[in-house]
Amino acid sequence: MPHTPDPAVLAFLESVHPYDSLPQDEMARVALSFSRRDFTSGEEVYHAGEPLKGLYLIKRGSVEVLEPSGGLVSLLGPRNSFGERGLMRDGQAVTTARVTEDATLLLLPTDIFRRLIADFPAFERFFNRGRNSAEGRRNDLTVQKVGDLMARRPITVAPSETIRAAAQKMRDAHVSSLGVVEEGRFLGIVTTRDMTNKVLAGGMDPAGPVAQVMTADPVSLTPDSLGSDILHVMLERRIGHLPVVEDGRLVGMVTQTDITRFQAVSSAQLVRDAAIADTVEDMAAVTARIPRLLVQLVGGNNAHEVVTRLITDIADTVTRRLIALAEAELGPAPVPYVWAACGSQGRQEQTGVSDQDNCLIIDDAATEADMAWFERLATFVCDGLNACGYVYCPGDMMATNPRWRARQSTWRSYFEGWIAKPDPMAQMLASVMFDLRPIGGQASLFRDLQGETLEKAAQNSIFVAHMIQNSLKHTPPLGLLRGFATIRSGEHKNHIDMKHNGVVPVTDLGRVYALIGQLDAANTRARLEGAEQAGVISTSGARDLIEAYDLIAQTRLENQARLIRSGRAPDNFLAPYDLSDFERSHLRDAFVVVRTMQSAIGSARGARS
């Protein structure tokens, strides 16, 4: 055996949790212990009942894990491990693992794996959580990147080619859809359903150009979207084909055939049920299942940003469904508008407990009579959200408030006023509104406003300084002598508020970084990553803060899941001494990182003022 690990293996392990938590010398020893094995598509790695040789880690390719009966447990990709269930029992494989795409696997010997479980709590926690949950295993599928799931060389057709030629191309390539592309630019999609409904049943001339039968500018995803996004879009919009587009170019296609193994994912089921609900009561029955979903997702070792994204997707679907029901009752909108969410829904960070924060941006052509229509829309949707568990905002930050139901020009004047005179109220309102995200309607009404506002705000040094000051109001709960500053009295005495003193300080920092870098992302983690790429914060600072945020946000979700499992409603209050010494120590270290980053940005502000 060589004395130094393969640099490629070492670099790969540093990107995989929980190996990334190992001390450097231990990481090197573990990297030396791995052996490499290559498999071809269709080859079995092991069969149920066979002795296991160790823990498998996927470096390249994909592997499906099957129950003894042949049912799918999970479809795994790079950085996923498998085989641990058998190693933690009697060393016999309890499932069958088969390669579905040529793969390179790294094999960690059984004795090394068991030593890591015994010596490092992060390993024990990672491989123990949810290992007996088939639902948790299936949830692994939702976190695959679209870029890993799509057909990488989509079949295309020019808009001027005939419908008959397009049909022949689909037949010859054994595909059910074609991307319509002209000079590299993606224009639309044509499917076998289009051929059936529009050409055969509709009597369209097959000699006509394919542009006549295609769906122009269809909904699409990017390669870095999640597998869950595919499910949610397909189920909500009832479509079977999704183009994958990057910078205006078609780079792949995902179909229902590609995701048949994903159909059991419970978050997608909730989205589907919400999308077809006919009444508010039906939607409320769907959202009542969210706490159970949260428990399953957390138990399945899903990262916090995946859990909150999936939960937010349900709120988005409920909101759009309520808008559709309102328009069915009230009639079509008199002028274009966009319904936007702010707060945790706007940032795609909803947990098991969320109120509603929303607004309406309305085209300037709206008359006073038109505005009365939008008042009825806002009432219908906000009342429906409240009935579904997204309770009314205590601060009345909702579209039912006339102030937050306004024409685009009024919104423009709001932002200009806040930027020009950044008093405490303006800072608070700007903080809320910088988290806006379009949910339904014409998104361009918001996009235009967002671009203008970010540019003006970032160029106003006084406004930026005030926003920085505002971001320092929420502080991590750090006490003396390596303790925590807990709540001193009341219902939550001796607890930490994991929202206002946990995730909110990081959310506030992320918002300021996005402002300085003129980044249009609303999600906190995406803002931190974008700030690093834009040079707003250093690579080391960004990595430390992201890891601290991940730990804080994950701990918050795990605590909510514990409360739900115990039969209580989830909240944001954590008793730190319910955690182990190891967990408390790491949580405190994470809070120290946040305070350090707050001090850094505060010092930078002082130097500029």
Q: Quick: pLDDT tens for 18-64.
A: 787 777 788 889 999 999 999 998 899 999 889 999 999 999 888 88
- CA 375 – CA 372 distance, rounded (Å): 5
Distance CA 206, CA 215 (A): 16
**Dist CA 576 CA 595 (whole Å):** 18
CA angle 168, 170, 176 (to 5 degrees): 145
Percent of the chain at pLDDT > 90 equals 52
CA angle 601, 471, 443 (to 5 degrees): 110
Q: What is the pLDDT of residue 566?
A: 76
For the purposes of burial, counting CB atoms within 10 Å of the CB of 259, is it exposed (0-12), middle (13-18) or buried (19 or more)? Answer: buried
Give the pLDDT band of residue 131 (cuts 50, 70, 90): very low
Residues near 172 by Cβ (< 8 Å), separated by ≥ 6?
Answer: none
CA distance 167 to 174: 10
Residue 606 has pLDDT above 60, yes or no: no
Query: Does position 238 have pLDDT exceeding 90, yes or no?
Result: no
CB 507 within 8 A of CB 466: no
Taking alpha carbons only, the member of 542, 575, 543, 582 closest to residue 556 is: 575
3-class secondary-structure state, position 74: strand
Pairing, β 496-497 against β 573-574: antiparallel
Give residue 263's pLDDT band: very low, low, confident or very high (50, 70, 90): very low
pLDDT band for 316, please (50, 70, 90 cuts).
Answer: very high
Between helix 368-387 and helix 280-287 the angle, nearest 10°, is: 40
**Cβ neighbours of residue 399 closer than 8 Å, sequence gap 6 or more:** 339, 358, 359, 360, 374, 377, 378, 381, 382, 405
Task: Tell the residue number behind the tokens 């289009």, with chain if given.
Answer: 194
Closest CA to 458 of 419, 423, 421: 419
Give the burial class of 133: count Cβ atoms within 10 A of its Cβ; 0-12 exposed, 13-18 middle, 19 or more buried.
middle
> What local confidence, expressed as pLDDT, does residue 605 receive?
54
Q: How many CB atoms lie within 10 A of CB 112?
A: 16
Alpha-carbon span 563 to 566, nearest angstrom = 5
CB 229 within 8 A of CB 146: yes
Give me the helices (H) in 110-253, please. 110-119, 121-128, 134-138, 146-149, 163-173, 192-194, 227-237
Q: What are the φ/ψ torsions at residue 203 (nearest 5 degrees)?
A: 75, 20
Average pLDDT over the chain, rounded to whole? 87
* Distance separating alpha carbons of residues 257 and 234, to the nearest angstrom: 12
User: pLDDT (tens digit, 9 = 90+) per residue, 481-512?
Assistant: 668 999 999 999 999 999 999 999 999 999 99
Share of the chain above pLDDT 70, in %: 90
Which of the four pLDDT bands, split at 50, 70 and 90, describes residue 262?
very low
pLDDT at residue 142, rounded to an integer:
58
Question: Where is pLDDT greater, at 147 or 361?
Answer: 361
Residue 143 has pLDDT above 70, yes or no: no
What is the DSSP secondary structure assignment for residue 7, as one 8-state letter?
H
| Distance in angstroms (rounded) separating the CA atoms of residues 146 and 144 | 6
> Are the C-beta atoms of 284 and 388 separated by less than 8 Å?
yes
Phi, psi of 451 (to 5 degrees): -60, -45
Which residue carries 């085989």 as its tokens? 83
Listing DSSP states for 329-382 in one string gives: HH-S-SS-EEEEE-HHHHTT---SS-B--EEEEE-TT--HHHHHHHHHHHHHHH
Residue reference for tokens 């009024």 = 410
- In degrees and rounded to multiples of 5, residue 351 shows phi and psi of -115, -150
Alpha-carbon distance of 524 to 471, in angstroms, equals 13
Q: How far apart are CA 212 and CA 168, in angstroms?
A: 17
Task: Please list, residue by residue across 43-77, b when 16 or more beta carbons sit within 10 angstroms of its beta carbon and e when fewer do.
Answer: eebbebeeebbbbbbbbebbbbbbeeeeebbbbbb
pLDDT exceeds cutoff 50 at 92: yes
Helix (H, G, I), strand (E, B) or coil at 129: coil
Q: What single DSSP character describes residue 85? A: H
> How far is 401 from 342, CA to CA, in rounded Å?
14
Q: Omega before 109 cis (within 30°)?
A: no
Whole-number pLDDT of residue 129: 47
| CA dist., res. 554 & res. 521, Å (int) | 21
8 A C-beta contact, residue 134 and residue 73: yes
Instruction: Name, in order, each residue with C-beta under 8 angstroms of 69's C-beta and a sequence gap of 6 or more.
Output: none
SS3 66: strand
What six digits make up the tokens of 402? 């006339």
Q: Is the pLDDT of residue 138 over 50?
A: no
Report the distance separating Cα 347 and Cα 523, nearest Å.
4
d(CA 506, CA 522): 13
Q: Which residue has the tokens 């946000």?
A: 553
User: Using CA atoms, how far apart are residues 541 and 601, in angstroms rounded to an integer?
Assistant: 11
Lowest mean pLDDT among 82-91, 203-212, 402-411, 456-465: 82-91
Q: Give yes or no for a contact between 157 and 207, defined as CB atoms under 8 angstroms apart.
A: no
Q: Who has greater pLDDT, 88 or 438?
A: 438
Residue type, 442: Q
Q: Which of the four pLDDT bands, split at 50, 70 and 90, describes residue 71?
A: low
118, burial (CB in 10 Å: exposed 0-12, middle 13-18, buried 19+): exposed
Q: Are 431 and 425 in contact (CB under 8 A)?
A: no
The CA-based diameter of the chain, rounded to the nearest angstrom, is 81
| pTM of the predicted model as reported, rounded to 2 decimal places | 0.62
- Taking only the tens place, the pLDDT of each residue in 266-304 is 677 788 788 888 999 999 999 998 988 888 788 767 789
588: pLDDT strictly greater than 90: yes
Cβ proximity of 477 and 504 under 8 Å: no
Q: Is residue 608's pLDDT more than 50? A: no
Structure tokens at 457: 């705000």
| pLDDT tens column, 222-236 | 888 877 788 788 878
pLDDT at 261: 39
